[in-house]
Every structure is written in structure tokens, then in C-alpha cells.
Amino acid sequence: MGILENLQECIAFEWDEGNSSKSLEKHRVSDGECEEIFFNSPLVVGEDSTHSQMEPRGFALGSTNTGRLLFAVFTIRRQLVRVISARDMTAAERKRFRK
């Protein structure tokens, strides 16, 4: 099963000391903003096979409720989305997102 299919089976997000506020500190992206992109359309999701040695990872391109365009790397554990990192999209990512 691919990352998109697994994502559709998720029921919540997983936040703990390991990932909560990490994107806020590094990229000024709150946990809430990370979650918002998964509920807004469009959402572009793909496999991150380059960084999937320990567990399958995916990436998501999406927008927050205020229109901020974010790139997020995530994994799925026990039907929970665990955001690893999130930041503003690069110019190339914005172009891909808008297509």
C-alpha cells in the first residue's frame, strides 16, 4: 500500500517531544498549520524514497487556512500522521503545487 492510501486511513496526528514545535523553532511553522494542509485542497502527496531507510516517508505540498504554502515531510504510524518537518515551499515546489 502506498503513502497516499495509508494517509487516507489515518485518524489523527501524533505530536510528542520529538516532533512538536520542531518546525516552529526551525521554520516558524506551527503544529496546527502542519495539520491544516492535510485537510485543504489541493494536496499534493508523494513518496520520499530518498529518506525512507528507517520507515516509509512521504511529502505533502499544501496550503494552510490562511493560504500559506507549506512543504511537509511525514510518516504514518498506527494510523497516525507524524509530521517530521514542515517549512515554506520553495519556488519550484510552488510551481509543482499549482500545476
Q: State the pLDDT at residue 51.
A: 62
The end-to-end CA distance of the chain, in Å, is 25
Per-residue model confidence (pLDDT) at position 52: 60
Identify the pLDDT of residue 25. Answer: 93
Q: How far apart are CA 48 and CA 73, in angstroms?
A: 8
Q: Tell me, rounded to whole angstroms, the distance of Cα 63 from its chain centroid.
A: 11
- Which portions of the chain are predicted below pLDDT 70? 1, 51-52
* Confidence (pTM): 0.90
Please tell me the distance from the alpha carbon of residue 4 to that of residue 20, in angstroms, as a whole number.
23
Q: Which sequence spans correspond to the domains of the chain?
A: 3-98
